[in-house]
Chain A
Amino acid sequence: DTAVSQTPKYLVTQMGNDKSIKCEQNLGHDTMYWYKQDSKKFLKIMFSYNNKELIINETVPNRFSPKSPDKAHLNLHINSLELGDSAVYFCASSQPGRGRTSYEQYFGPGTRLTVT
């Protein structure tokens, strides 16, 4: 049973195209995230949703639009793809606790996006 799944695993596309990456979690978590990992392996948060509501929206181009149809799904749509969008995109989920803020997250396997 895969806890956090992403599709597709690999995505090769040309500049200017529009593409989507899907993420699903079966852990019953309320919070989901999208991260970007660049070629130098730096991990950077892009978005976070809690119960389908956007709670973190980092400085990313507005060509990136997350959509959460329900709390088990968080999809990422990217318009007008650029060369610099090439990276590995990770979805993650977590369950907020009470009191202190926990960042125990469960990550998907990643989607390697290559823009040519």
Chain B
Amino acid sequence: LAKTTQPISMDSYEGQEVNITCSHNNIATNDYITWYQQFPSQGPRFIIQGYKTKVTNEVASLFIPADRKSSTLSLPRVSLSDTAVYYCLVGVWGTGFQKLVFGTGTRLLVSP
């Protein structure tokens, strides 16, 4: 079963745009791709989800290529409060069954 992988960590400065990519080779055909943010000692918090192309809400954008084997979360003009761990969540196909899998997580550090 292919892993759902993300870069371990990323560093940025306030005001910059940050792009975090998740690779999900075995994504299930009919499932959304969902992204979460997690602060220390808290549960993950929903950010955005999409099926294909581009989705934008008040906090982020999500870019999904046509083959849907990856997705990129884009955070415009990050601030210190965006320092957190970011996870993608997808349904993937295993051997004859479907699994719900979180990505490995990307720790984003935003500096002044």
A residues adjacent to B (C-beta < 8 A)? 4, 35, 41-45, 48, 56, 58, 90, 92, 99-110
Contact = CB atoms under 8 A, between A and B. Distances in A.
Contacts of B89: 103, 105
A99 B31 CA distance: 9
Given A41-B105, A44-B102, A105 B42 contact: no
Interface of B: 28, 30-32, 34, 41-46, 49, 51, 85, 87, 89-91, 99-102, 104-105
B31 A42 contact: no
Given A100-B30, A100-B51, A110-B41, A105 B91 contact: no
Given A43-B87, A43-B102, A58-B99, A103 B34 contact: yes
B32 A102 contact: yes
Contact of B32 (A101, A106, A107): A101
A55 B65 CA distance: 30
Contacts of B42: 109-110
Contact of B102 (A42, A56, A104, A109): A42
Closest 8 pairs (CB-CB, A-B): A107-B43, A43-B102, A103-B34, A101-B31, A45-B100, A103-B89, A107-B44, A102-B32
